[in-house]
Chains A and B, each alone.
Chain A
Amino acid sequence: MKLWFKSGSPWVWMTAGAVSVSLISVIGLLLLIASRGLTYFWPADIHQFEITTQAGVSKTIIGEIYEKEQVPTQQLVESGVLFKETQGETVERLLIKTGNREYVDLDFQWLLTTYIQQESTPTGLAVFERSKNGNFYGYLDSIIQDGKVVTENKNQLLAELIERAVELNDKALDLQNGEIGAINYEFERLRLKQRKHELEGDLTEQVKLEIEAQRDALQAEYLTYEKELFEYRNLAKRDSVIIKDMRGELVTIQLNYILDVIFPNDMSTIEKLGQFGKQIGKFIVNDPREANTEGGVFPAIFGTVFMVMLMAVIVTPFGVIAAVYLHEYAGNSAITKIIRISVINLAGVPSIVYGVFGLGFFVYMFGGSIDQLFYPEALPGPTFGTPGMLWSALTLAILTLPVVIVSTEEGLSRIPGSLRQGSLALGATKAETLWRIVIPMASPAIMTGLILAVARAAGEVAPLMLVGVVKMAPTLPLDGNFPFVHLDRKFMHLGFHIYDVGFQSPNVEAARPLVYATSFLLVTVIVALNITAIGIRNHLREKYKALDH
């Protein structure tokens, strides 16, 4: 034993243990996010509990089981809970999501299992996904179609009617965001045009009349669309549904607030799987609702992707040029050493410092000057002098510059010198050698760098909080209004969405599954990008190893 200790073998095992701990924490973390994120989409069974509380009141609770935990009996007894029978060390407690937010005090309830008299998952229990006030749970009683009460074949009819209402709502929404949005945008442009003429001192009567005429035309157009909009909305309001909730009361809900209905207790696993896929799809393509705590994350995905692409366009040329300089042109001089240290330092500077720099330099100084030169008509309202898409992309471009440089340089250093010498010997200039031989060969390395940069930028939040991300952006940075790409706009971002919904939302409990789902989405994207980058890099290493010998 002593000898064994002396050999140092236990310490080797300890270091091995450190590796195990790291591996378990990484894998555990990924599994945790995946399981929590994916269960969000799974149509869970709806339970019905008949309970008798301590005061002897019997009631029914209907809802999804959200969480289970063990509570020490001692603690419960101290807080005033009385048990009829003796209990073990701990008692199980359930967190039930009961929904029906407008009819109950809290849409989440803790329930001690000792109170439960009977538990079942009866068929016919429906979950109504609503555009307001979260889910509604209850039994479908009857449907009011166009003023007439229908009780036969109601499940199928309900599905049809909901589809109709959703379609009408979508049409109304499209009209509002599309045509009406465009008119509002035009109005604003006209106002700015008038102001511009005013500032330049050439606002003649004629110009004024012209603008006025355009405004009138827009107004007329607006009125017709508005009429159409109200028509759609009225049509959508036609039907409603009567539901029996857990208090046993009948509740009437207009169908235009209902987005979907499912009967999870009646579904087979295959059907549930289908519903699961449908929910994931909805999560990706829908807009968020109810202060981001419900609905999808489409604008956040769009904002993230758009910003990252813009950043990639900015960072690639600069990163590649810097790497080419360091590896191909610079000798081993003092300047090169300083530049190398700069690259390392740029990589090490905390991201929040980039945010501060971006806010001060890009937004206030640069953006402020742009506003004064090119958008004086909008002042004092800022156009570019406020956090936005362009500044975020630029800030992250500086942040990820070192990633591209390091990766590209590594790629360049793996290209055998013989290839360059061969090209030069055939009479090509250095620039031609670079352009025709070296860069094409290094392109996978550049790609790797770019992918890593994109992965880094997609997950970075701290600087974006200062230079352009908002919790709710009314418009996307890309739309049908001239000039189509609006780089001055603020945008939503997946990472910030996680922070905002998880920490700033009024109903954290209700929002938590959504945060897990968003995290899962973000982690999936980033891990996939990284694995691709690592794969390309390893492949490249093997390839050039073969070339070298």
Chain B
Amino acid sequence: MNAIGWPNWRRLNQEGIVFAIAILLFAAAALGLPGFLTADNLVAIVRSVSVLGILALGMAVVIIGRGIDLSAVAIMAMSVAWYLQLLNTGTSDGLAFVYVLAGVLAIGLLNGFLVAYADVPAIFVTLATGSFVFGYVRSQLITQDAVPVPGGHWVELLGGVRFLDIPVEVFVFAGLAFLVFLFLRYTKWGRFIYFAGDNPVAARNIGVPVRPMLVLRYVLSAFVALIAGLLTAASLHSINTRIVNSTLLYDIVLVAVIGGIGLSGGRGGVRNVLVGAALIGILLNAMTIIDIPLLYQNLIKAAILLGAIIVDGIINPRDEQTAQQGDI
């Protein structure tokens, strides 16, 4: 990678490979599939991966810092389900939103504290908090899987917001991507994430506040999940907590990893998420147009993830330091 952030084409890395595949697929679909290369369909592609991409942005920040957040989907669905349930049972909007913000903050802090200060591996912490959030909200706070948005509420209106006929989630995705890009590249704390992800001990020795920053990343990821959940509810006029049982969580990791963000931490950025999301979006859209049954779609997607992980292993070999410290 050179100074202005363009990929270095002479040394083909995973991001380059995936980007090339995405371009090839795009070209093939544009030539072979009628109706693929229309403005509406292109917008639909971006929109279909917007929520996924937003979640992947949060996940990317966590992974770059050598962590993982498996509670993202649970936080996304359950926070919004609880919010809508509060609204449906007559809690005032402001109060309900404060409750939910506090809840999301608490879970982010809990994730961060357990990983940073209790030294429990992130994969176990977030797996547990994800199950906890789902179980607690599902059993104690809401009465059924699907919670509708009350008629006329701002979440419902949000779903109808269009600018130049482009749905609102596309702009939110673009905006968040830009913000995360600025954060990672131009802020001190953003740069520190790379140091901490690459070598936490060395980062600590040079005076980087490694632990508070770890907490911050999980809090960020939780808030990003809340935004993704609100956008989902805005579009569908309801939120279904069954999504926690779906493959969405793996899709988020898929988008981040396939774009070239190494699971061993310290590598990658927003561009990798965009490349990963582009490939998945084009792939799913093309497969839907061709009418490939879901079973095969999942098989193709899984094969690509497996391929990406293998390529990642070859291109970003585990160095001495990773082998000693371990990754997630």
Partners in one complex: no
Binding site for A on B (CB under 8 A): none
